[in-house]
Chain A
Amino acid sequence: MTLDELSLVALYSAMAVYALAFMAFAIDLARRSATVERELEYRTSASLRVGVSLTALAALLHFAAAMLRGFAAHRVPWANMYEFAMTGTLLIVSVFLVVIWVSKVDLRFLGTFITGLVLLFLGVASVNFYVAVVPLPPALQSAWLVIHVFVATSATGFFALGFALSVLQLLQSRRETAGTGPRFLATLPDAERLENFAYRINIVGFILWTFTLMAGAIWAERAWGRYWGWDTKEVWTFIIWTLFAGYIHARATRGWRGTRASWLAIVGFSAVIFNFTVVNLFFKGLHAYSGLS
């Protein structure tokens, strides 16, 4: 068995464990709804702890898959679409695990969203984006590949968490005003606290994104002879940066804080996903590294 085949085995195993973790998190949400329905106080359920443990286990397998792929290719495992997806989702999970580890507030309720998102991306990536290991084209042979792409994918991890929190914030504020929405919301922090968490996570993403943009410009100057040329990927990086800059402004603008600001975070993360999928696959440009033809 080659290293790359081992990597695939590890990845499929990780996906299976993620699926179990997703179920555990979903059971926890169901339990939250049930306690609200019976007007009991919600106490952290065992399934929540199982979900986190399974996610950590899956992340280890996922990490092994990425490492094996890297060893198989003798380079960092993020040089084509399949590898971006594999490493990017690993970073999303890692950011989630680190944040719930560090945060004093219990954010484990985001597990369903995170494991679901990761599972979806890994499924699409392993079925549709898989390519055999090939050497790096000369344009990618640079230390900036390590820095620029890694920071960009880390930013995606933070934006993903921020997105989930913003969506919950919208649901929560609707529940607070109209009383509608899934019952488990009653066990989550109120809309204002969700907004504050979303903001703190999104600004980390924004800083990383700013760095991505700058590192990309430095690299582009070396590789393509100009630091900025409105290549399609540069355009979308700029659009995402502007959207999140708008989000941060909105948070400080009377009348925009709250619901409107959170919509901007949601649109911003959607643009990140659009940039990763549609722009990579269908837009013509210099960032043509999907490895797919």
Chain B
Amino acid sequence: MSRPSDYIDSRPELPDGGAPARNVPLNAVGWARWAWTQLTSMRTALVLLLLLAIAAVPGSLVPQRSSDPNGVSQYFVNNPQLAPVLDWFGMFEVYSSVWFSAIYILLFISLIGCVVPRAKHHWEAMRSQPPATPMRLDRLPGFVTLESTATSDETMAAAERALRTARYRVQRFDRDAPSLSAERGYIRETGNLVFHLSLVGVLVAVAFGGGFGYTGQRTVVSGQSFVNTLASYDSFNPGRWFHDGQLDPFSVRLDDLAVTYETENSAALGQPIDYLASVTVTEPDGSEEPRAIRVNDPLRTNGADIYLLGNGYAPTLTVRDPAGNVVFTDSVPFLPQDAKLTSLGVIKIPDGLASQIGMVGFFYPTQAEGANKAYYSAFPDLEYPMVTLNVFSGDLGLDAGKPTSVYQLDTSTMTQLNGRKVGTESIELRPGETEDLPNGLGTVTFDDARGANATTSDYTGSVKRFASLQIHHDPSRTWVLVFSLTALAGLLTSLFVARRRLWVKILDDGRRIELAGLARGDDPRLESAIADISRQLPSSRPTEGTVG
């Protein structure tokens, strides 16, 4: 059996999808054979395809851990009752869940079970000659009769020439009358098989790439470098078969991150127009090379692809104790909260001051004051930058050994020392300014990135930027593309190349010519193809075009 029994063009040899025939003993082999027939039937493949479509839906309704981990956390907060139930069903990891995997694995088994026998059959068909001409052509589609004006041999020669020019495989038969049996479009089935096998290729390549690849994120402040080692990633998602040795120790220094904003179109003021990260790549052998990373234009180096996925400001803050000794100085990435880059950051100082302190800060690249006296940023570029800081003292929780995020401060066990909530002003600093910390703890300075004594009439360049880089390695990406392209080529061939059989028969000692065809699969041009051939035969029947 070359095709599943419920394929539309196959003869219904088996009871349509039925259980094993009654006379076959219902032993394990019988059932296994029955189950295999069921699994590889067209109907099963169809149902699995539709199930796959339905199973993909929930992943678009509920946030997924793979693409939106924060959304999942938020979902748990908003729906504390429902979320654990959904989680049990794998709704937050739909595409790696057991049920989703089960569907596509069954689908692919069904596909292989269907395609392999077909490939074998097709291989044999391609090497065999077209089947004998049917006894009667007049019941077949596109049947025409012509009056011949030449001898039998001349007609046969003309017909064979016409058919071969139209790329038919031709075989002569002389059973009841001289006839030609021709077939074309074997490549339709080849395309179909290539398409299906390419899908298997895509699946295998994707699995391979996921297994040996890795994805990591790293935030780099301009002027800083990151070395491609496990320890330097902020977060790292390795594939199942990843090992440390895969990481080439190249490094990337962010020299500058230039952002261009729209300043003229009033409907889009402040919309980013271009991001350009200028970097220096240091190869494992020590050679340096200046490169650039843009959105839509990643940096590809040492088998890794480096993407610019986010950016923001990293104000440089320095904290001194009352004696003037520096206890903290760093450029701290503040995470953007809106399109105008109002940003939120956290500074933790566990040592060096009278008590542990944490500071929650807002950064406004262009600080403005709203009606309710609240500050906001009016423009994402550095027009009038300001940092505001609220200071908390108490236990930072760093000694408990629990992992904590550098972007979050748990203030539940801390005392707020300043800010609106406790009735005092927040610390407000522009680049270059210094203020006292509350309770005589020391001072805090917002360092100007251009150095001390820089002008305050133009703040351009006064605050460093940071870039969120994603570093991705996928060893099989090219194979996924190659298999996708062969799938597309196979699909085009299998849907648009017509496969048909054509017969030419000479009757009445060469006076009469009969033609007929049979489409195998969808073939809108069967009749015009027969007309084309008949026009090239020596016949007296008036036909349009030239008669050859």
Contacts and interface: CB of A to CB of B under 8 A. Distances in A.
B149 interface: no
A107 to B, nearest CB: 13
Interface in B247-280: 262, 265, 267-268, 271-275
B42 A207 contact: no
A238 interface: yes
A83 B472 CA distance: 33
A253 B6 CA distance: 6
Given A135-B265, A222-B296, A243-B53, A227 B480 contact: yes
Nearest to A257: B8
Given A242-B56, A249-B42, A254 B49 contact: no
What is the interface residue range for chain A against chain B? 35 or more
Given A210-B491, A222-B296, 12 more contacts: A132-B267, A134-B267, A138-B275, A203-B496, A207-B492, A218-B481, A223-B296, A229-B67, A239-B53, A249-B46, A255-B43, A284-B68
A113 interface: no
Interface in A56-110: none
Nearest to A240: B53
A30 interface: no
Given A239-B56, A239-B57, A141 B477 contact: no
Nearest to A238: B56
Contacts of A279: 60
Interface string B292-310: 0011111000000101010
B360 to A, nearest CB: 27
B265 A133 contact: yes
Contact of A207 (B12, B294, B491): B491
A249 B42 CA distance: 7
Contacts of A131: 267
B215 interface: yes
A252 interface: yes
Given A142-B296, A242-B56, A253 B7 contact: yes
A222 B265 contact: no
A100 to B, nearest CB: 16
25 contacts: A134-B268, A138-B274, A199-B522, A200-B522, A211-B488, A217-B484, A224-B309, A225-B307, A227-B477, A228-B206, A230-B64, A230-B95, A235-B59, A238-B56, A243-B50, A248-B495, A253-B6, A253-B46, A254-B6, A254-B7, A254-B16, A255-B43, A256-B43, A256-B46, A285-B67
Interface string A228-266: 111110011011001101101111111111000000100
A231 B64 CA distance: 9
B524 interface: yes
A216 to B, nearest CB: 11
A57 B488 CA distance: 36
Contacts of A214: 484-485, 488
Nearest to A219: B296
Interface in B188-231: 206, 215
A224 B52 CA distance: 25
